[in-house]
Amino acid sequence: MKHKRIIIISALFFAAASGLLFIYSFEAIFYFTVPVVERSPEQPIAFSHKKHAGKYSINCLYCHRYANISKVAGVPDMELCVSCHRFIARKKPGIKKLIGYWERKEPVPWIKVHDLPDFTYFPHNTHLRAGVYCDSCHGDVTTMDRIERVSRISMRWCLDCHRERDVSIDCLQCHF
């Protein structure tokens, strides 16, 4: 009898462990099988964060100007790009392309790299104010010629950080 119970318990344990393993391995597989093309898609204009944020040390908030006051960080409006590039590096092919968009009054159709599901509420301003700076999620963009997703952006990844910092992990904090 006793033997049987041990078997049952160990079977249950094994089931639980393999379940966990399954979830973890699923995530791992998911992450590593996402090709670089997906994590770092080619953009309509080869904008380099390495140059802007790295070489010229332009503050993130100079372009993503709503990050500390709104839930969205804000994609810089075209006028902002053009306000510099009307004068700077006008001959370069990328800039020519930009000016082309601007003159056609068309927005640049940037490809979204960091995409949260619609049922998740993520306020940028709250995170910045809590000391979670841009690089915590977006990586060190000063080294990226083309922006690349370095975080998993899965719920467990969010929760890990929330737990570490002892902030609310209540579901309704982000899902409503």
Partner 1 sequence: MNRREFLQLTGAAAAGGALSSCTINPEKLIPLLVPPEDGSIPGVADYYASICRQCPAGCGIIVRVSEGRANKIEGNPLHPVNKGKLCARGQAALQALYHPDRIRQPLKRTGVRGSGEFSPVSWEEGLSLLAEKLKGMKTAGARKGMIFFTPELQGTILQLVKAFTEHFNGMHVPYESLSLESHRKASVDVYGRYELPDYDIGSAQYIISFGADFLETFVSPVRYGDAYGRMRRARPTVRGLFTYAGPRMSMTAASADSWLPVKTGKEGILAAGMAGVILDEELYDGPALNIYGLNVSELKAAMADYPLKRVAEETGLTERDIFSASRDFARLRPSIAIAGDTVAHQTNGIDSIKAVHLLNLLTGNFGKQGGVRFSPKDLKQTASSYSKLLDTIDDMSGGSVRVALFHGVDPVYALPKTSGFEKALGKVPFIASFSSFQCDTTRQADLILPDHTDLESWGEVIPSIGGDIGVVGTVQPVVRPVHNTLAFPDALLSLVKTEGGKVPGISAYGDYPAVLKEHIRQASGHKPGADFERVWTKTLQRGGIFKEDSKPVKSINRSGKFIFTVPRKAVFSGDEKQFPFHLHIYPSAIMFDGRSAHLPWLQETPDPMTTAVWGTWLEINPKTAGSLGITHGDLVEVESPAGSIRVPVVIYPAIRSEVMAMPLGQGHRNFGRYAAGRGVNPLDLLETVVDKENRLPALGATRVRIKRISKKGGLITAGHPDGSYRGELLEI
Partner 2 sequence: MSKSKSNYKWGMVIDLDRCTGCSACVVACQAENNVPVVGEERSAEGRMLHWLRIERYWDGEYPHVRARFIPVLCQQCDNAPCEPVCPVYASYQTPEGLNGQVYNRCVGTRYCANNCPWSVRVFNFHEPEWPKPLNDQLNPDVTVRSKGVMEKCTFCIQRINRGKMKAKEEGRLVRDDEIQPACAQTCPPGAIIFGNMADKGSFVFRLSRSSRRFRLLEDLGTEPVVIYLKGGGREGA
Q: Which chain residues interact with partner 2 by CB under 8 A?
A: 117-121, 123, 126, 129, 168, 170-173, 175-176
Residue 140 binding result from partner 1, partner 2, none, given CB thresholds of 5 to 8 Å by partner type: none
Residue 87 binding result from partner 2, partner 1, none, given CB thresholds of 5 to 8 Å by partner type: none
Token pair recorded at residue 93: 């092919």
Q: By CB under 8 A, name the one of 7, 34, 130, 155 that touches partner 1.
A: 34
Site stretch for partner 1 (CB under 8 A), options 1-9, 28-36, 126-134, 137-145: 28-36
Task: Say whether 42 sits in a helix, a strand or coil.
Answer: coil
Q: By CB under 8 A, name the one of 6, 11, 15, 70 that touches partner 1.
A: 70
Q: Does 78 bind partner 1 (CB under 8 A)?
A: yes
The answer to whether the CB of 134 falls within 8 A of the CB of 144 is no
Q: Does 154 bind partner 1 (CB under 8 A)?
A: no
The residue (of 143 and 154) whose beta carbon lies closer to partner 2 is 154
The residue (of 45 and 167) whose beta carbon lies closer to partner 2 is 167
CA 85 to chain centre: 27
How far from 140 is each of 45, 111, 126, CA to CA, in Å?
Answer: 20, 19, 20
The residue (of 7 and 169) whose beta carbon lies closer to partner 1 is 7
The residue (of 31 and 133) whose beta carbon lies closer to partner 1 is 31
CB of 151 to partner 1, least distance (A): 16
Residue 171 binding result from partner 1, partner 2, none, given CB thresholds of 5 to 8 Å by partner type: partner 2
Sign (positive/negative) of CA torsion 11, 13, 19, 24? negative
E strand or H helix at 155: helix 155-164
DSSP state of 112: P
The residue (of 89 and 116) whose beta carbon lies closer to partner 2 is 116
Return all residues near 158 (Cβ < 8 A) that are at least 6 apart: 174
The answer to whether the CB of 45 falls within 8 A of the CB of 111 is no
**Residues 95, 116: Cα–Cα separation, whole Å:** 30
